[in-house]
Structures are given as structure tokens and as C-alpha cells.
Amino acid sequence: MANTILTEDWLAVIQEEYLQRFIKLGGAAVKFAVLPEEPRCMELVSSLGKLAEAENYCFAPVDVATTRAHMIDKMFFAIAHQIPWDDLTWSFLKSTLRSKDYYIPEDQSLSIEALASANGLEIKEMRRSINSWLENTLLRDHRMTMEFRIAMVRLCQFLLEPQDTIPGETDAVKQWLCGELSLISTLKKAFIFQKIARHNARDMVCSLCHWVHMAGKAGLIVTIDISQYSKPRGYSTSGRPLYYRLAAILDGYEVLRQFIDSTDELEFCLVVVAAPLGFLDIDRSGRGVIRYDALYSRIVDEVHDQNQANPLSSLVRLGKVGAYSQHSAAYEGLL
């Protein structure tokens, strides 16, 4: 029988080994947690949210019931909607100014005028210094895409000199990040010329993880609840969730596979996929991960202890011992 581990025990390992060490030091990991019931998936997401708050991480839960997460750009937009852009920008500017030995005004204002007054400098000199380190710190940091770097500079400039910012530009930048900008020409003067789409969204995720850390957070935790993949057509709950045909589910599995393969490019990021028991369905005519070999081969635990679950493996089964007994017997037959 495939072994299970208590959710509390697994979360303790995630907190100690990943959130407090590996991820905080620049690592990235993708974990799959299989739970016996859908409500347990929601409980797991909630628990990870509490860990994120306790360990100073940004937290972005994604539910495929409401987000077309089989398209990476839609997933990025769902994450971007939950990022406190203004708070991160303010935190980045404040920490950078202090690292350059500048004084922060008592009222915490970050305007050029207030900073110049607090540091006994001419406004032109203060502006020149800030523009110099914005260029060196942001625009030359090639771990973020050019468009993302420019967007972050624009957010910084709005806090520094709001009166000199083009009206509506800052809101347009945020709309662009969240996939809500109808005309990209709105950002032409900001030197952003292309929308976020499937061809560049993965690079935007990598850029976001790096930016979150630059802004003072330990990293980014993303949870992806894929319970909806196993739901039949006509399944009804409040909110009219999305229905997924098999082709869309396989696309979703491919997105998850790409996350696994891009962990060398990601940094300061933990992705946790919460899946129902049907995810491990051995019926090749069903909707389980066995239908997509590219993902299945990356997470299946072909070598495992007969008596002890490994909490560090890519895929874990969470719940009480024996909760998976009927399914696990069949699953073992595949290995």
C-alpha cells in the first residue's frame, strides 16, 4: 500500500526544509499533494496561506475552477491580481534608500522633494542619484524581462514623483500586469510594447518571483487547486465553475510539467499543486495524471519505502493511514 503522511507533519517539513531554508535562499520547488477529499484541498491551501504569512512570503492561490490555468498567461494574471504591487514598490524603494545611506523622512514620504530635504540635497541632485541606482538596480537586472523591469521602474517613479507621471500610466501598468489592459498602445510612452501572452508569461512568472524577493519578501508561494479537472460536465456549485474537456486537462498537465522543468530558472518560489484522489486514477480512459506521461514520469514515486512515506518527494499522499487503501493497491500495480 502506498504510504500516506499526516497533513500537519508534511506542512512542518515544508516550513522547516523549504520555506525557512531552500526557497528563502533562492531555490524553487514544485510539490504535488494528493488528498482524499476536495474540502481537504481547500484546507491545505488555507494552511499554506498561514505559513506564507508567518514566514513573510507573498501568497497566491489559484483554483482551476475559476481560472483557466491550462493557459500560463491566465495563471500569471490570476497570480498578479493577488500581488500587492504598491506595497512591494514602497518596500523596495525604502530598503534601497536605506542601503544607500539615505534618510527616510519621518512621515515616510518617498517623494523626491521630501527625500532631498531630509538628506540636505538639491532636488536635482537627489533625482540624479535615484535615477542612477534605479537604472543599475532594476534596468540592468537581467533576471527579469525588459518589459517587467520597465514596469517596475514606472511604479517606482510614481511614488517618487507622482506629479510628473503621465496621468493614468500607473493604473495602466497594473492593468497590463493583470491582463486587463485593452490597448497596449496606452503604454507606448512607457516603452512597453507587447501584451503578456502565452509566449512570454512564463518569463513574467520568473521575473515576478525575483521582484518579490527584491522588495523584501522571502519569496512567492503559489498553490494550484486542480480538483475541478476531475469534475464531470454539469457538476454544479456556486459560482458556475469551469468545465474542462480532456484536451484542456492535458494542457493543464503540460503547464505543470513545464513548472517542474523550469525550477532551475525560477527562484524564491514554491508551487504546491493540490489534487483530489482521482488525480492518481490508473484508468487510462479517465482524467488522471497517468494520461499524460510527461508529467506522470516526473512525479511518480517508482522507488519508495514500503512502510514510510517520504515527505520530501515530489508527490505525497496526505491523510490518515488507510485512507487510500483501495486506490493504492491498484496504483502499486503500476510500479
The verdict on residue 214 lying in a domain is no
pLDDT tops 80 at residue 237: no
Give the distance between the most distant pair of CA atoms in the chain: 75
With residue 98 as reference, give the H or E element that holds it.
helix 85-99
Closest CA to 274 of 81, 47, 107, 87: 47
Report yes or no: 5 and 42 within 8 Å, Cβ to Cβ.
no
Residue 1 above 80 pLDDT? no
61 and 98 co-located in one domain = no
- pLDDT band at 235; cut points 50, 70, 90: low
pLDDT digits (tens, 9 = 90+) for 135-190: 888 999 999 999 999 999 999 999 998 887 777 899 999 999 999 999 999 999 88
133 and 103 co-located in one domain: yes
Q: Contact, 190 vs 173, CB < 8 A?
A: yes
Same domain, 132 and 184: yes
Query: Quick one: CA dihedral 185, 187, 188, 189, positive or negative?
Result: positive
65 neighbors 241 (Cβ within 8 angstroms)? yes
Mean pLDDT across 68-82:
97
pLDDT grade, residue 233 (50/70/90)?
low
Question: Residue 12: inside a domain, yes or no?
Answer: yes
Range 84-103 average pLDDT: 93
Give residue 238's pLDDT: 53
CB atoms within 10 A of CB 182: 9
Percent residues over pLDDT 90 in the chain = 69
Relative orientation angle of helices 169-177 and 146-160, to the nearest 10 degrees = 140
Q: Is the pLDDT score of 329 beyond 60?
A: no
**62: exposed, middle or buried (C-beta count within 10 Å: 0-12, 13-18, 19+)?**
buried
Report the SS3 class of residue 204. helix
Q: 285 in a domain, yes or no?
A: yes
Query: Is residue 142 located within the same domain as residue 174?
Result: yes
Identify the weakest region by mean pLDDT among 172-176, 249-253, 326-330.
Answer: 326-330
Say which residues have a Cβ less than 8 Å from residue 82's Cβ, sequence separation at least 6: 58, 59, 60, 61
Domain that holds residue 317: 7-71+219-332
pLDDT, tens only, 9-52: 999 999 999 999 999 999 999 999 999 887 889 999 999 999 99
Task: Give tens-digit pLDDT for 278-299.
Answer: 899 888 778 899 999 999 999 9
Residue 269 scores a pLDDT above 50? yes
| pLDDT given for residue 302 in this prediction | 67
* Mean pLDDT over the full length of the chain: 89
pLDDT for 251: 96
Domain boundary among 143, 170, 190: 190
The CATH number of whichever domain residue 323 belongs to comes to: 3.40.50
pTM > 0.85: yes
Whether residues 302 and 232 fall in one domain: yes
Mean pLDDT of 224-253: 82
Instruction: Indicate the SS3 state at residue 28.
Output: strand
Same domain assignment for residues 176 and 247: no
pLDDT recorded at residue 48: 97
Place 199 in a pLDDT band, splitting at 50, 70 and 90.
Answer: very high
Do 327 and 226 share a structural domain? yes
CA separation for the pair 224, 222 (Å, rounded):
7
Domain count, the chain: 2
Judge if 226 and 324 occupy the same domain.
yes
Residues 93 and 174 reside in one and the same domain: yes
Q: How far apart (Å, rounded) are the C-alpha atoms in residues 199 and 203?
A: 9
CA 179 to chain centre: 16
Question: Does residue 79 lie in a domain region?
Answer: no
pLDDT at 107 (0 to 100): 83
